[in-house]
């Protein structure tokens, strides 16, 4: 059986019957990097999951290997629907075909900062119009809870200090703007629903939301059965380093060695994708227990590492030098971007636990399995 055989086309209902009593979470973009890890965490915490993805940047989740892993730990509680958030009918089909959807985690979208400069309208139509389509369908089918995947990129950098949720919003790329505007639309919907509920308007539709602003997600699940394997060409640091380790690229191009940072290279708050996945479960737990909720939360570790520090950590793991050269700064980049995640700690009782060395090791472990003998 091919992996594709696990997909349910829009017209067919149910890979497996969902149990009625479990909260059901619709995960858009659930076959992608962060979505697939989050689905594993949701399933292991007892949630049922419906994945909705057009597989433009991911293989179908779960793969056969993952499916067999899940059948041990999480029997029969996952459904996959192939569809596009840009097509309202596809989304409506999911709601029509599902008995109940308690909440949506909206990951689906485009995420490359460089590509968003080249093709901004594609980013606005997928990320912003796609989010509006999801919200419209949620209102139509009385689904009140959404977690939205936003990004630290909306802040435009932290000038060497940790960034908190109330700091200046200043996106430096079209991608960053699409994330910020989507946040704003969700907030407006929440506010409008709250006001009409206060005025006893019977048509009011509640919308409870948690906006999660991720810093730099990396790593992979410990057993290496899933990880970051984009179909589109990746421009992020970790996949690019992997290509150099794997010999696909001869060297890493470092964008800028004149930033005002510890060694002149860009500093980021890398967060292990499993910490992020657990953050989503904490957010869903909170959202489902908290009426009238709207919160914006940073998810990061609070610690920043430069590009050279990341390279050095990988070199220790793989046991050889990773060749690199310095180049001009990249459009849309900032010197430093590190989270103050104290609000998420306080509200969600969540904290990132995994260190940079574990992030690098788990990424490498996944890639060495995925890329096989090339490593
Ligand atoms: P990803 O590309 O691995 O996952 C996104 C998923 O959405 C993919 O499976 C893709 O096939 C799907 N998708 C794309 N367009 C779609 C459409 N029109 N309809 C249905 N599905 C569609 O990316 P990721 O790293 O898992 O990111 C998930 C979310 O988190 C994105 O919204 C991204 O902007 C946000 N985010 C990511 C990062 C990061 O560095 N990875 C950082 C901050 C925020
Ligand atoms: N970098 C290089 N060479 C590369 C790739 C990256 O030097 O080949 C540098 C960048 O200049 C930056 C750092 O590595 O200093 C991290 O770059 P990434 O592309 O991995 O990550 P970004 O911080 O630019 O952006 C990522 C995601 C966005 C998300 C943001 C949140 O791509 O979607 O993190 O902070 F919004």
- Domains of the chain and any CATH numbers: 17-370 (3.40.50.720)
Catalytic residues: 175
Pairwise CA distance, residues 268 & 304, whole Å:
5
- How far is C-alpha 333 from the geometric centre of its chain's CA atoms? 19
Q: What is the pLDDT of residue 194?
A: 75
Tokens of 77: 């509680």
Q: What is the pLDDT of residue 206?
A: 84
108 lines ligand 1 (CB under 6 A): yes
Cα 237 to averaged position of ligand 2 atoms, centre (Å) = 6
* 327, β-bridge pairs: 255
Query: Which alpha helices (H) appear in the chain, and where do they start and end?
Result: 33-44, 64-73, 88-97, 113-118, 120-123, 130-140, 174-198, 237-245, 273-289, 307-318, 342-348, 356-370
* 64, β-bridge pairs: none
- How far is C-alpha 159 from the geometric centre of its chain's CA atoms? 25
- Identify whether the C-beta of residue 299 lies closer than 8 Å to the C-beta of residue 215: yes
Sequence-ordered list of residues with C-beta below 8 angstroms from that of 130, at least 6 positions apart, any chain: 85, 86, 108, 109
Cα 234 to averaged position of ligand 2 atoms, centre (Å) = 10
Strand, coil or helix: 305: strand
- Identify whether the C-beta of residue 108 lies closer than 8 Å to the C-beta of residue 324: no
Pairwise CA distance, residues 286 & 289, whole Å:
5
DSSP string, 15-76: SSPPPTTS-EEEEETTTSHHHHHHHHHHHHTT-EEEEEE--SSS--SS-HHHHHHHHHHSTT
Out of 268, 306, 359, give the residue to mutate to test ligand 2, the one with the largest number of ligand atoms within 8 Å of its CB.
268
Please give the number of the atom of ligand 1 that sits closest to the Cα of 106. Answer: 32
With a Cβ cut-off of 6 Å, ligand 2 is lined by 111, 113, 151-153, 215-216, 235-237, 240, 252-255, 266, 268, 307, 330, 333, 337
Cα 5 to averaged position of ligand 2 atoms, centre (Å) = 34
Nearest CA to ligand 2 atom 14: 237
Nearest CA to ligand 2 atom 16: 237
**Hey, what's the torsion of the CAs at 327, 257, 251, 271, to 10 degrees?**
-120
Judging by DSSP bridges, how do beta strands 294-299 and 270-272 pair with one another? unpaired
Biggest CA–CA distance in the chain, Å, is: 67
Q: Nearest bound ligand to CA 338?
A: 2
Q: What is the pLDDT of residue 110?
A: 97
Counting every residue written for the chain, the total comes to 375
- Identify whether the C-beta of residue 46 lies closer than 8 Å to the C-beta of residue 124: no
370 lines ligand 1 (CB under 6 A): no
Nearest CA to ligand 2 atom 2: 254
- Identify whether the C-beta of residue 284 lies closer than 8 Å to the C-beta of residue 103: yes
Out of 110, 245, 255, 303, give the residue to mutate to test ligand 2, the one with the largest number of ligand atoms within 8 Å of its CB.
255
Give the number of other CB atoms < 10 A from CB of residue 285: 16
Q: What is the pLDDT of residue 92?
A: 97
Cα 32 to averaged position of ligand 1 atoms, centre (Å) = 6
From the number of C-beta atoms within 10 Å of its C-beta (0-12, 13-18, 19+), residue 135 rates as: buried
pLDDT along the chain (375 residues), means of 10: 35 35 91 95 91 92 74 72 97 94 98 94 98 97 97 89 96 96 97 76 77 98 89 88 92 97 97 98 97 96 98 96 97 93 98 98 90 50
């Amino acid at each position: 059986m091919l992996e594709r055989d696990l997909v349910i086309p829009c017209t067919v209902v149910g890979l497996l019957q969902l149990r009625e009593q479990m909260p059901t979470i619709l995960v858009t973009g659930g076959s992608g990097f962060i979505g697939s890890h989050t689905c594993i965490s949701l399933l292991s915490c007892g949630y049922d999951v419906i994945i909705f993805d057009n597989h433009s940047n991911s293989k179908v989740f779960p793969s056969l290997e993952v499916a067999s892993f899940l059948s041990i730990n999480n029997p029969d509680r996952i459904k996959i629907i192939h569809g596009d958030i840009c097509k309202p009918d596809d989304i409506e089909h999911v709601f029509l075909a599902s008995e109940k959807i308690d909440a949506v985690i909206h990951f689906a979208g485009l995420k490359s900062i460089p590509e968003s400069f080249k093709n901004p309208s594609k980013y606005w139509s997928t990320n912003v119009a796609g989010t509006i389509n999801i919200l419209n369908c949620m209102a139509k089918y009385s689904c009140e809870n959404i977690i939205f995947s936003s990004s630290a990129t909306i802040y435009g950098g932290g000038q060497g200090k940790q960034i908190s949720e109330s700091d200046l919003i200043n996106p430096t790329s079209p991608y960053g703007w699409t994330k910020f505007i989507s946040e704003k639309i969700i907030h407006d919907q929440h506010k409008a629903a709250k006001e009409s509920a206060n005025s006893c308007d019977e048509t009011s539709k509640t919308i409870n939301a948690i906006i999660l602003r991720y810093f730099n997600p990396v790593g992979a699940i410990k057993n290496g059965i899933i990880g970051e394997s984009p179909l589109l060409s990746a421009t992020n640091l970790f996949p690019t380093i992997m290509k150099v380790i794997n010999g696909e690229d001869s060297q890493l191009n470092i964008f800028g060695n004149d930033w005002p940072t510890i060694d002149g290279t860009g500093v980021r708050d890398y967060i292990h994708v499993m910490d992020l996945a657990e953050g989503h479960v904490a957010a869903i737990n909170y959202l489902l227990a908290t009426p009238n909720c709207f919160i914006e939360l940073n998810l990061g570790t609070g610690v920043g590492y430069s590009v050279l520090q990341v390279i050095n950590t990988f070199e220790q793991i793989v046991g050889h030098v990773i060749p690199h050269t310095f180049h001009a700064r990249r459009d849309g980049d900032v010197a430093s971007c590190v989270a103050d995640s104290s609000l998420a700690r306080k509200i969600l009782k969540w904290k990132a636990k995994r260190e940079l060395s574990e992030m690098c090791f788990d990424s490498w472990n996944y890639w060495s399995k995925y890329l096989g003998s090339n490593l």
